[in-house]
Structure formats: structure tokens, C-alpha cells
Chain A
């Protein structure tokens, strides 16, 4: 029997992490994500897990990578300015290929911005925030239920592809309260990182004989290995050999590029015969859904494409929609981040127009409905 609960988004996120088997949390207080830490502080010790409030955001990101290297699924949660600070060690998790999950509840920015106001303006930072080329997986849930299930999926993807995964609800989704169903343990399948199958003396932490996602041993097991943030060879030790560095960087990108269909998730609503498509995510997609329904009632063929996996971006799907509709609308709580991605994917096959809000107010259905009507004029 699944359990019915009435939870806040951030709380659901924490319960999702626990369901996924997360047993270590390191964080730092920041609005509007603090409730994730508060639930973890309360619940983790009950199941023998560990919670630590670190001295800063950078240290929290470092601590979860250290913990994950001992084989323990690990989480941190933050918001805007904290996400900026985490970029340094997020890059470290990328290059060293250590699984971990980062929750970033999006608030207004840049800098201190609007700490209690909603925003969707960190989506580019999730991909481009840390320096250097690296793969990125970023999930943008739209409901309390989805914040639970997508946090579980984030852990699964992180373990499967041996990389950090970010889950980024906007502040509205993080703070709204809804009814959710928490499934019995085991109902949602869980993924664990692949352990090594070779003898300890043969083990290499980036052994490509096992494919693009090499098995990861745990510190403190019978396997000993070296981990560095320098460009490394298969054995984990630093190298400046040009061909090895190139190969390693390309392999890391392939982890995503060769598995796009496994990672990308989205929802389509009334899109099949649509003349106008709204592409939205998070709380904005809830307004968009309402607007699409109203448009249909007024005889306008509107549909919704809701992004769930923001990175990798659903390029193929958006390109397909652009070939079928006359117009695409991108409402978002930023100044056009998704708009430019959609423009790129549409490649001139349909018009693309945006609704951009950064005033701390949600985009309401009426605004989207007006834009739908305008787009078909």
C-alpha cells in the first residue's frame, strides 16, 4: 500500500532522496531550499544515515563527493547563490565521475536577487555553470509528486551514469503543498553504481573495457585507487598526454549523448493536432496547461510540451513539434533561456515567441492564453 501524504515540495524531495537510498546529506542554510535540509536532519539519523551542516556551500558539495566515494548515496540542496558556489566542486564531481544529487530550488537572481521569489533562471547554469566541457543532467519537476519521483530518478541516473545530477524545482514547486502518494519501498526500482568485477590489483577507476561508464569501487573496500581533478588516464592518475585527455573528455560526453532517449523525459498534452505549442516547465507549465485547456474551449488548437528533463535538452522532440505547428510559445520565469534553446531546435520551421517574467510573480494562464491568440493572428 502506498502512503498518502500532504507535503511541501521540498519535503517531498527529501523523502524521495530517502526512498532512493540516500544516506548522507551535507548542506548549508539557504532560502528557499532549507526545508530539504531540515527534513534530512530529522529523518536521516532515524535510518542510520548522516546529516551534516557544513561551514559553507562549497564544503557541503565537497563533503557529499567524499561520502559518495565511500559508496554512500549522497545529496545536497541549495538555491541560487549557493548553486553558484557549488559550481567549483560540481565540476570536480563531473571530471572524477562521482555520483551525487544536487537540489537547486530556483529563486530570483543574479546574486542575492529575490530570495523568496520564484524563478527559472538557473537552467543555463546547470549546464554551463562550471568551467570546462562536461556532461549534464538536469531535471525540472512541476509538482510535489514529481519532485518525489524525479528525485528518485535523479539518484538512479546519477548511479547509472556515474555523474552528478541536478534537480531544479522553481520556488513555487518547492514550496507548494499537495497530496502525494509515497509508494511502498521497492515499487520504484532503484539503481546502484556498477561495482568492479576485476581483482583489486587489476582495478582502474576509469577502465573503458567496461564501456563508457566504468565500474566505481568504494573507498575503504578491498580496492585502492587514486582520484584527482586533473585530466586523468584510465588508471585515475594525472596525464597531459593529448590523445588520452581528448579520449577521456569525449567518453564522458558520450555517457549522455549515446543515451539521450533513456534520460530525456517530457509530457505532451493535446499536442497531436495543435497549431500552437506551448513549451514550458515547472510551475509555469501548470499555468500553460490551464491556458491550453481554455484555448481549446475557445476553439483554438493549442497544445503543451512540458519539459521534465531540461538537460540533455529534448532537441529531437522540439524539432518534431516545430515541423508540425505554426507557432511555439515559451513562457518562462527568466529572460529567454528556453526561448533560445527552442529557437535553435525549431531552426526556422515555426515561429517562436516568449513570455519572460523576472519580477518574482508567476506567469498566469491568462498571459499565456493571450499569447496563444496573438501567435495565431
Chain B
């Protein structure tokens, strides 16, 4: 029997806004499959986003969905999770939304280790506004605001998340479609703040400025640069040049924020007698 995507898709809301060749649709497919695999209840699931192409994703999914302001998704999601801990709360968005304008909310959600899963579609560019460089655009790359090549060094989102205290960090690519589902299942199951970065492709605003002649070429690039954590164990630093680690990169157990706040409530009530 074929998989029933319609179960989680809002009727009448497709086609989506994403360009031909964009990887966001592949990521959405992975998310839907993960939600199904986990048996997530639509009424009990909140999906929160900021601004940008990737942030349009919640509108297509039949849950409690919140399309907020630029960079603020995690802060809105924190309010939802604190006020109603029994809800499953997911955040989705892009690289500029998540680690530029939303960088402060991102690192502090990592630090708190609040039980939210953050899915970041990293296509190394601001797509919706027409291709300006983002904090993950590689040095030297062309964007509409780096016509002579990008002078900025990029962030490594996964390292940023680990450094800030996230307790589950994984990375996949839009090429490795089946892995997206698996990573998201593990991330959502994990208790604490989990980050899943999916390397994505924007042929429209990134590819054409950076000598990718086709969508297929961009997808093949994702395939070629990705090295699984297991495979990397047998590779030398030289062999890892230009490659990106994929899979579950980090996992830790630390107290979860909402549970810790529950202890505050108990302490306050004991104190009040």
C-alpha cells in the first residue's frame, strides 16, 4: 500500500510556493513520514515557523500551525511549549531566519534544552527576497549582495547548536530523502531541544549565481559532499576536505526545561504551604 500523504496535508493548499528544483518539498515529505511513523496527533502538534520560503511549510500541514515574524519562531514555540507542555512542538525554517535574525532565540533555546524539535532547511541563501547572502553562504560565493564574492565566513549550524547546548543534533541533505525521515523521528523522540539541519538547494537564487548548471548538478553536489558519521571514521582529514558530516552528530542527556520548571512550581507550592 502506498503512503497516504494526504492524511497530514491540508486540503486545497497545494501546490506549494516553492520553485522547481527546490529541496523544501523533499524535506516536507520527510517530515510528514516522520510524523506518521511516530503516530503524531494532528490536534496535539504545533508547527511554528518564521519568515522565508521554508517558513511557508506549516501552512500546508494540517496541524496547529503558526507562521510568525522573521527569526522568532523558536520564541513563539517556547511560549506554546511552556503553556501547554503536552503538545508536541516543532519549528521549521531556513538558515537566514534561524541563525541570522533568529540567532539569539536559537542559541537560548539550545541552552534551555526545551523539548522542541527545530528543522532547519539550509540552502545557504535568502531565497524569498531574491538571493542575498546568509550566515551560511560559503566564503567567496556569489549572491545578489556579494556580487564580487562573499567576504563573510559562514556558520556551521550543527556546531553552533552543539556549542549552545542542544542535546540532539543531526544533519542530512535533501538528496538523502529517506534519511530525513529517520533523523526527524529520532529528533522528535528525543527529550530536549533537538536540531535537524537539512542541507538544501536553491537553484533559483543560489545555483544560477554559483556555476551550478542544473538542479541535478546541485543535487549531485549534496550527494558528493555528504559523508556519514560512520564512513568518516575511516577517512583522513585530507579526505574530509570539502565534505560535510551527516547523520546524528551529537546526543546528550540533560534536564529538560519544562520538566525543570515543574520542579520550580513544586518548590513554590511547598514554600507557599
Give the B-binding residues of A (Cβ under 8 A): 23-24, 26, 42, 45-46, 48, 50, 52, 54-56, 58-60, 62-70, 72, 74, 88-89, 92, 219-230, 237-238
Contact = CB atoms under 8 A, between A and B. Distances in A.
Nearest to B264: A45
B199 interface: no
Contact of B67 (A48, A64, A219, A229): A229
A97 B63 CA distance: 19
Contacts of A52: 78-79, 82, 261
A284 B44 CA distance: 50
B75 interface: yes
A220 B264 contact: no
Interface string B41-66: 01110101000000000110011111
Interface residues of B, number: 41
Contact of B82 (A63, A220, A222): A63
Contacts of B44: 220
A224 B63 contact: yes
B272 A226 contact: no
B74 to A, nearest CB: 8
Contacts, number: 138
B63 A66 contact: no
Contact of A92 (B42, B58, B68, B261): B68
Interface of B: prevailing SS: helix
Interface in B100-117: 104-105, 107-108
B59 A228 contact: yes
B84 A219 contact: yes
A60 B74 CA distance: 11
A74 B269 CA distance: 21
A88 B76 CA distance: 13
B77 interface: yes
A369 to B, nearest CB: 48
Contact of B79 (A56, A67, A92): A67
Interface string B70-93: 001001111110111011000000
Contacts of B271: 46
B265 interface: yes
A71 to B, nearest CB: 8
B80 A66 contact: yes
Q: Which of B58, B72, B75, B77 has most chain A Cβ within 10 Å? A: B75
